[in-house]
Amino acid sequence: MKKSVYINSVGSVSAQKTFDNSEFLEEITDYEATELKVVSPNYKAYIPPAAARRMAKGIKMSTVSSQTALKEAGLENIDAIIVGTGLGCLDDSSKFVSDIIKNEEQFLTPTRFIQSSHNTVAGQIALGLGCKGYNFTYVNSAVSFESSLLDAQLQLENDEATHILVGGVDEMVEHHVRTHQLIDHFKNQPVTMKTLLSSKTEGAVMSEGSHFFVLSNEKQDSTYAELLGLEIYNELAQEQLPDQVRSFLKYHDHSIEDIDLVVLGNNGDINFDGYYQVLSAGLFANTPQAYFKHLSGEFDTASAFAFWLSSKIIKTASVPDIVKLNALHSSAKTVLIYNQYRGKNHSLVLLKKC
């Protein structure tokens, strides 16, 4: 008999003030920009300043969000650590490459190379906790975080672990933003929170963030929601999407009508928001809808922000007005998240109040 999987705690550092779990999008940071940085927590409260100086931003953000999640779950250690990241500590790898070229392969130091390893965040958390358990890092673009979720779900369902720290982290880096603006993956014209979806321009608003969650097969007072299921698809045509969603829900004994809220990953890219349109104007036309990338920006693990948002929505039984995509009232009990990036790496995640 498979065990149920619960989200027992959350931790977030994002382009909004989300690091304080006692609040829920009460202060919103608007912008007129092509890229967004995170709203920084007080890192000094979590990391000794001497250590923080050499630390990659991805590690710093993750120290805060992982400690927040562990604290809320009331845990000092954990059975496994699973992290998703599209690009790892990209700032260090980018600077290491730049140094290689500028210094013609001389006078290099190892720190940047060491932090460039994609599994640095997972390794550093393990080191900090002294956690010798299972330790994995997934690096598959927009499904990096969902891959981590799926791995945790497998272990918890089969009772191979009880508490797992699962997260997603990505840094925003100058070279990455500028090069991707050259190929219109990121916007060249600034947008605001309100104009993102109506911008009618190519590309997304690049951002960054770190989200961690304790997933467990034991429900406790702090529990946010139950993770009913998730699926990952390497690529889908828009025409295939409704059928895939239907069969995903059917597999989990749900129908379209059972969904109280669908959370969509629209990022204002005129070339790819059609995927979301297929669902918002079709399958879920009569379902309450929400979006989030106007708050979080786009990055490989932005869907972890949606996971954070959905967990908070279910726990507080409220949908903040700022995320609503239509005027329908939601009872916020059963939430489906759908995300994709540039037509690839699609994911469906189903959460339920418990």
Minimum distance from CB of 131 to other proteins (Å)?
6
Q: Is 37 exposed, middle or buried (0-12, 13-18, 19+ CB in 10 A)?
A: middle
Closer residue to other proteins (CB): 158 or 271: 158
Amino acid of residue 205: V
Minimum distance from CB of 23 to other proteins (Å)?
33
Residue 33: CB atoms within 10 A of its CB come to 17
Q: With the C-alpha atoms ordered 188, 191, 197, 198, is the resulting torsion angle positive or negative? A: negative
Q: Using CB under 8 A as the criterion, which residues of the chain lie in contact with other proteins when the complex forms?
A: 81, 86-88, 93, 96-98, 100-101, 104-106, 108-110, 113-114, 116-120, 122-124, 126-127, 129-141, 143-144, 147, 150-151, 154, 157-158, 175, 178-180, 182-183, 185, 231-236, 240, 244, 300, 344-345
Q: With the C-alpha atoms ordered 174, 306, 144, 16, is the resulting torsion angle positive or negative? A: positive
Minimum distance from CB of 54 to other proteins (Å)?
12
Q: Tell me which DSSP letter residue 286 carries.
A: T
Closer residue to other proteins (CB): 105 or 221: 105
Closer residue to other proteins (CB): 288 or 297: 297
Closer residue to other proteins (CB): 16 or 147: 147
Closer residue to other proteins (CB): 10 or 142: 142
Minimum distance from CB of 193 to other proteins (Å)?
26
Minimum distance from CB of 221 to other proteins (Å)?
29
Distance (Å, whole) CA 303 – CA 286: 23
> Using an 8 Å Cβ cutoff, are 338 and 268 in contact?
no
Minimum distance from CB of 151 to other proteins (Å)?
7
Q: What 3-state DSSP class applies to 180? A: helix
Closer residue to other proteins (CB): 170 or 260: 170
Distance (Å, whole) CA 252 – CA 247: 9
> Using an 8 Å Cβ cutoff, are 269 and 203 in contact?
yes
Closer residue to other proteins (CB): 248 or 291: 248
> Using an 8 Å Cβ cutoff, are 348 and 230 in contact?
yes
Minimum distance from CB of 194 to other proteins (Å)?
29
Rg of the chain over Cα atoms, rounded to whole angstroms, equals 19
